[in-house]
Structure formats: C-alpha cells, structure tokens
Structure 1
C-alpha cells in the first residue's frame, strides 16, 4: 500500500485572502503576504495544500458557484507564482441552518479530501483565522491548529 500523504488544510477567507464578507469578486482579491512563506515551507516539506472553506454566500444567493470558482482559480494562480500548488478547493455552500456535515467546524470536507488524496489526517495540520470554526474542526480531528490573522 502506498504511504499516506500529509496535508495542510487551509481556510480561505481571512487566512489566504482578506475577508470582505462573502468575498467572491476577483477585484476584491487581496492576499495576506505573510501566509505565502508559511505555505511555501509546508509545500516544500511535501505537504499537500488543500483549501477548506465555508461559502454560504452560494446558498444565500449572493454569488454563484461559477463566481466562487473564478475567484478560486485566480487565487490558485497567484500561489503558483510563489511556487505553491493548491491541490484543490473543497467548499461548503450551505447556510448554518442547513445543518450539513461539510460546514466547518464539522469535519466532512477534510474527510472527503483525505479520502480523495490518500491523506493521513493525524499527520496533517489546519491553518485558519477562527478558533470557533477552523480550530474546533482541527480539535475534532485531533490535529494541530495554527491560527493566523484571526478572531475568536
């Protein structure tokens, strides 16, 4: 059996890019410069970089999946220029009141990513800006959480 890989599960808005509230317009895309060397270091160590993001603006009707995908594509292009490949963006389009298993702090998105990419969750890391979503998700999985730029 192939060896399982390690991943950095990284939040998007407020962690990779500034969060303007339901951020989805490419014109609003501004990267946090200090996250680049952090992800580059993990990437160079062989970690798979996977974005795990709540995007309830989709089900709220604020923007479309296509809008989000265009934003994500541009974000990935910026990171590639810094030598960091984002393997994939996993997103939850649901509102909190929909009580799905993929909305952070639930662990569904990480479990899907781990299955798809052969990732050893216990050897992986979560990086995010929120203790109540990203941190709680990491805690539920029993893995390391690194807080950046954040609140609560």
Structure 2
C-alpha cells in the first residue's frame, strides 16, 4: 500500500545487545557491533527502527518496567551516537504460561506498532536471533526474516 511506512522490527536481547539472561542492568549493556551496519542500511532507506522484545523478567518480578525502560533509553542513546534512531520499543512483560497475544512468536507487538505508525507489514522486516520465536512471528505475518547470532 502506498503511503504506509516500512519498518525493521528488531529483537532486543541476543540480537541488538548481548543477552545476559533477563538483561536489565545498565552495566550489562553491550550492543553487537555487527548489527550496526545492517540497521544503518535500513535506516538510510527510511525504514523505521522498532525494537520488539519479550521481557518476562518483569512478570517474574526480576526487574521493574522502569528498570527496563532505563535500559532501553540507554540502547537508544548509544545507537543515536552511531547514526541510528530507534523509533520506539514495544515489549511483552508476560510469562510464557500467560498465553498473551503480545508474547513472541505471537504477533501482537508488530500489529500494535503497525497501527501506531501506519506500517506496511508486508514490506517490513524482522531481525532476530531465534528462528523459533522471531522467525515464526515473521512467518505468521508473511514478513521477511533476517537471522543473526542465533540459538536455533
């Protein structure tokens, strides 16, 4: 559809930054160097950069929404220095057993972002580290998936 925007939906832990397991401490923030050129390439093509992330550590009581938001702000700040603007962060705070629509590989986070930013999902891309989570979500929406660093 013309007029709609394109986006890169980027997983956070394990894709954008190193995953320490329920990563939320600022001292643990380390962005993967190899993701930067990929994001810059899409950013220069006028794709919105949107982070989508499962954050069950909130639902498990390991850290607060405020701690996660502080971590996200620091990611955004570091990427601005590298010439990349994160448009927004969308997260699921639920645990896997809660069965919500926003927990990846469900599609709720992308659908929410698509409405908020008038995004053309079919011409957008998912970047993630897990075929079974990020890749599955992309397939459910008929989107291109780029796997980086991955576990499966």
Q: Considering the TM-score relative to the shorter chain, is it more than 0.5?
A: yes
Q: 1:19-62 CA deviation, whole Å, 9 max, x = no partner?
A: 00000000000110000010000000000000000000001000
Q: State how far apart, in whole Å, the 2-side matches of 1:2 and 1:122 are.
A: 12
1:66 equivalent in structure 2: 66
Q: State how far apart, in whole Å, the 1-side matches of 2:147 and 2:19 are.
A: 15
1:76 equivalent in structure 2: 76
1:92 equivalent in structure 2: 92
Listed as ranges, the gaps of 5+ residues in structure 2 are none
Runs of 4+ with deviation above 6 angstroms: none
2:3 equivalent in structure 1: 3
The normalised TM-score by structure 2 is 0.99
Tell me the secondary structure at the aligned position of residue 150 of structure 1. coil
Tell me the secondary structure at the aligned position of residue 37 of structure 1. helix
Q: State how far apart, in whole Å, the 2-side matches of 1:142 and 1:5 are.
A: 16
- Count of residues in correspondence between the two structures: 152
Q: State how far apart, in whole Å, the 1-side matches of 2:5 and 2:124 are.
A: 8
Q: 1:65-124 CA deviation, whole Å, 9 max, x = no partner?
A: 000000000000000001100000000000000000000000000000000000000000
Listed as ranges, the gaps of 5+ residues in structure 1 are none
Root mean square deviation, CA, Å: 1.0
Q: State how far apart, in whole Å, the 2-side matches of 1:16 and 1:123 are.
A: 21
2:33 equivalent in structure 1: 33
The normalised TM-score by structure 1 is 0.99
* Matched ranges for 1:121-136 at <5 A: 121-136=121-136
1:18 equivalent in structure 2: 18
